[in-house]
């Protein structure tokens, strides 16, 4: 299977990809080298501080253009640290970038920045979304409404919340307890707030039981949703078991029934992706750490074709190839 490193000139990761005006736009996080980097489970070695936008008109062979820096941490009034993954949606000719960042109290919130063009620049709103928490947002348009899927544990802080309220002490399920679920929330008409309370996105087995905390295929972070042949596909990273997995449903809110592995482990700790159709073919965008010699905080964007079988199952891709 043909694969391609998209932008070897710089270290970028966590690609959210969309087709705007017939062109492919890639919205990645931006990794930085830091001589004082110390790895830990809170992800302090991922100290990203700005966003670039990339685009191309030919995914596997065309030039990938860097449109430059489109948003900087220092431009955001409530900024603390760590501009992690982001995603962008278009509505009525405006482009809305949603991003997680720790505020001045070191708590992840969701910010919004607005542009007149898909390549930016993006102007941030003065405050984060009310009631927002955790990381890894993906925006999905369905039947005229916009939905945000989000959530990540460990450094993503999802274990600090229950029923959308902060806990006095974080709680991470173990063993046969149900795994922590991602979240989904409908966005307001103006795209700047939640229109409702976030609800859990449950991944269940064939018997309808939630995947447990000790299941290697349970949700950890990096949700993404797309539709294929009328079904909703919820894909995600399993985190410390280093896979991209997926589940399907007839409902955008789930529950989603676990189906299988999309991408086996890659070189590097994290794996974070998006799935998009372009000119009749489907593609998986992700990252690995091969070009940096395995430095987990210096990742490079990668893409390969994604295929379905006759029953709509996604064929597994070998990450180390």
- pLDDT of res. 39: 73
Element (H, E) at 27: strand 23-30
CA 179 distance to own-chain centroid:
19
- pLDDT of res. 28: 98
| Active-site option among 14, 31, 85, 136 | 14
pLDDT interval class at 36 (50, 70, 90): low
pLDDT in tens, 277-318: 999 999 999 999 999 999 999 999 999 999 999 999 999 999
Q: Which residues contact 150 (CB under 8 A, 6 or more apart)?
A: 100, 110, 134, 135, 136, 137, 138, 182, 183, 184, 185, 198, 223
What's the average model confidence in pLDDT over 229-237?
98
pLDDT in tens, 81-92: 999 999 999 999
Lowest pLDDT segment from 39-43, 247-251, 273-277: 39-43
Encoded tokens for 238:
């399993």
Please say if 10 is a catalytic residue. Answer: no
* CATH number of 3-306, picked from 3.90.79.10, 1.20.140.70, 2.115.10.20, 2.160.20.60: 2.115.10.20
Please say if 14 is a catalytic residue. Answer: yes
Domain boundaries, the chain: 3-306
| Active-site option among 85, 87, 90, 221 | 221
pLDDT in tens, 55-110: 999 999 999 999 999 999 999 999 999 999 999 999 999 999 999 999 999 999 99
Encoded tokens for 85:
């993954």
pLDDT interval class at 1 (50, 70, 90): confident
């Amino acid at each position: 299977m043909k694969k391609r490193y998209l932008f070897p000139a710089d270290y970028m990761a966590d690609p959210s990809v969309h087709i705007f005006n017939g062109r492919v736009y890639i919205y990645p996080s931006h990794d930085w080298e830091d001589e004082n980097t110390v790895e830990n489970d809170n992800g302090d070695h991922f100290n990203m501080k700005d966003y670039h936008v990339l685009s191309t008109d030919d995914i596997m062979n065309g030039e990938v253009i860097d449109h430059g820096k489109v948003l900087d941490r220092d431009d955001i009034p409530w900024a603390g640290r760590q501009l992690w993954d982001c995603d962008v949606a278009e509505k009525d000719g405006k482009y809305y970038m949603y991003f997680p960042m720790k505020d001045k109290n070191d708590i992840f919130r969701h910010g919004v920045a607005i542009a007149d063009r898909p390549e930016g620049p993006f102007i941030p709103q003065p405050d984060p979304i009310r009631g927002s928490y955790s990381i890894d947002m993906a925006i999905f348009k369905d039947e005229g409404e916009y939905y945000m899927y989000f959530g990540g544990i460990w450094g993503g802080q999802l274990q600090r919340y229950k029923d959308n309220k902060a806990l006095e002490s974080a709680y991470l399920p173990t063993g046969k307890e149900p795994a922590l679920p991602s979240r989904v929330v409908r966005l307001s008409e103006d795209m700047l707030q939640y229109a409702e309370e976030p609800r859990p996105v449950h991944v269940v087995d064939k018997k309808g039981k939630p995947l447990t905390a000790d299941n290697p295929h349970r949700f950890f972070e990096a949700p993404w949703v797309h539709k294929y042949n009328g079904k909703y596909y919820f894909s995600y990273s399993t985190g410390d078991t280093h896979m991209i997995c997926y589940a399907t449903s007839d409902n955008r809110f789930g529950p989603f029934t676990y189906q299988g592995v999309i991408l086996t482990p890659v070189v590097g700790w994290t794996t974070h992706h998006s799935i998009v159709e372009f000119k009749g073919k489907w593609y998986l965008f992700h990252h690995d750490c091969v070009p940096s010699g395995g430095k987990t905080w210096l990742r490079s964007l990668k893409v390969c074709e994604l295929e379905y079988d006759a029953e709509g199952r996604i064929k597994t891709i070998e990450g180390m190839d």
